[in-house]
């Protein structure tokens, strides 16, 4: 960290800052320019996190020069992390496709979808059993019954299943049934929940919060990693912007940025990201072209009858078309001379 003193800061003011820092066991380094004095702080940065140096007399501002995440950083772990889920690897050259309904609605529905997406080439099955809804009066999911149906669908198709965990109480039950624990966007900074999933060894799909910066998202991954669970998959699912023609704004910039700063795999959710099925194919192709390690997509055989998110669900036919399109794009991208990401490039 660097403390920038105001122009004309007095010698005593500079000394007060230096003394405070040294009193905390930090080494300081002074640079005196024509206009300003700068105090570099050398040492474990955590010690200064809570110190209100900016409110001291003569201080203009404090500038952080390191990223706050460690275990999630590429500096700490230069190779790409690969997360194994059943027979599939998330984080390698082959994009992994996760598909399924927003909510598990019935045995027929989930089995029909599971068989269909498997036929089209999907690698995993998604489906919500506990749904975070902004209204207490909306459909909240089938609960444990939904988890059992997911497990049955896995048994008959072989597809690993992904489902959202909303609170710590439900975690033991989720661990019984699912292969990947999803942390939803609204829980990205539910720190007790992050710690709890961090204490398991189950793969975690961590969605980016609606208005979270990439740094905050990686700090949430850090919470999970710091408890010992290294199987974190990041998922970009759209951020809130001023745009009204889309539900959210899928931020594909996050794909190469995450790959630059972190070793964790990153996949893309074009369904929530854009919110209308008519735009999902274009954004799925774009996500793969940007270098994402996979996609998670909402699919429903009859979107008009879906109990939630019907507007953004692909039909089974649209999904099949999507698989063909993204396969061609993936070949185009991975066939070019330069791979999607070269560490250290």
Residues 206-265 that bind a second copy (CB under 8 A): 210-211, 213-216, 219, 222-223, 226, 239-246, 249-257, 260-261
Site size toward a second copy (CB under 8 A) is 121
**Beta carbon nearer to a second copy, 81 or 190:** 190
**Which of 273, 271, 267 shows the shortest CA–CA distance to 292?**
267
The CA distance from 205 to 274, in Å, is 19
Stretch that binds a second copy, among 86-94, 107-115, 153-161, 304-312 (CB under 8 A): 304-312
- Does 286 engage in binding with a second copy (CB under 8 A)? yes
The CA distance from 205 to 161, in Å, is 12
- Does 301 engage in binding with a second copy (CB under 8 A)? no
Name the DSSP letter for residue 80. Answer: P
**Beta carbon nearer to a second copy, 92 or 256:** 256
**Beta carbon nearer to a second copy, 25 or 136:** 136
Question: Locate tokens 């399924």: which residue?
Answer: 100
- Does 200 engage in binding with a second copy (CB under 8 A)? no
Could you tell me the smallest distance in angstroms from the CB atom of residue 87 to a second copy?
A: 27
**Beta carbon nearer to a second copy, 159 or 322:** 322
The CA distance from 117 to 95, in Å, is 15
The CA distance from 131 to 265, in Å, is 25
**Beta carbon nearer to a second copy, 81 or 262:** 262
* Residues in region 17-36 near a second copy by CB under 8 A: 20, 27, 29, 31, 33-36
- Does 156 engage in binding with a second copy (CB under 8 A)? no
CB 225 within 8 A of CB 71: yes
* Residues in region 111-130 near a second copy by CB under 8 A: none
Q: Assign 182 to helix, strand or coil.
A: strand
**Which of 240, 179, 231 shows the shortest CA–CA distance to 209?**
240
Where do runs of H (alpha helix) occur along the chain? 11-23, 107-120, 144-157, 171-177, 191-198, 214-226, 254-261, 270-274, 277-289, 316-335
- Does 66 engage in binding with a second copy (CB under 8 A)? yes
**Beta carbon nearer to a second copy, 84 or 213:** 213
**Which of 224, 174, 226 shows the shortest CA–CA distance to 204?**
224
Among 290, 295, 296, 297, binds a second copy (CB under 8 A): 290
Among 288, 295, 296, 316, binds a second copy (CB under 8 A): 288
Residues in the chain: 345
Among 18, 86, 189, 202, binds a second copy (CB under 8 A): 189
């Amino acid at each position: 960290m660097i403390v920038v003193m105001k122009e004309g800061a007095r010698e005593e003011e500079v000394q007060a800052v230096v003394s405070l820092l040294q009193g905390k066991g930090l080494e300081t380094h002074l640079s005196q320019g024509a206009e300003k004095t700068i105090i570099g702080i050398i040492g474990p940065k955590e010690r200064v996190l809570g110190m209100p140096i900016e409110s001291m007399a003569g201080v203009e501002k404090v500038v952080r020069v390191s990223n706050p995440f460690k275990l999630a950083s590429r500096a700490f772990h230069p190779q790409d992390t690969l997360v194994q889920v059943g027979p599939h690897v998330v984080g390698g050259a082959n994009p992994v496709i996760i598909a399924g309904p927003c909510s598990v609605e019935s045995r027929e529905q989930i089995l029909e979808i599971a068989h269909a997406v498997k036929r089209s080439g999907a690698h995993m099955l998604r489906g919500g059993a506990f749904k975070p809804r902004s209204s207490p009066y909306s459909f909240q999911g089938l609960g444990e019954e939904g988890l059992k149906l997911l497990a049955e669908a896995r048994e008959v198709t072989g597809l690993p299943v992904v489902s959202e965990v909303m609170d710590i109480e439900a975690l033991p039950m989720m661990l019984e049934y699912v292969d990947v624990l999803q942390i939803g966007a609204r829980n990205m900074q539910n720190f007790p929940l992050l710690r709890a999933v961090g204490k398991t060894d189950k793969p975690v799909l961590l969605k980016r919060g609606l208005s979270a910066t990439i740094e905050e998202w990686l700090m949430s991954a850090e919470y999970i990693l710091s408890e010992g669970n290294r199987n974190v998959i990041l998922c970009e699912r759209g951020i809130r912007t001023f745009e009204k023609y889309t539900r959210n704004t899928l931020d594909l910039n996050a794909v190469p940025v995450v790959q630059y700063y972190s070793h964790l795999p990153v996949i893309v959710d074009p369904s929530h990201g854009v919110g209308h099925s008519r735009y999902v194919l274009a954004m799925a192709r774009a996500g793969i072209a940007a270098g994402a390690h996979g996609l998670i997509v909402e699919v429903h055989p009859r979107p008009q009858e879906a109990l939630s998110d019907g507007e953004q669900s692909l039909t089974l036919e649209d999904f099949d078309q999507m698989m063909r399109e993204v396969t061609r794009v993936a070949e185009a991208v991975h066939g070019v001379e330069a791979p999607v990401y070269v560490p250290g490039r």
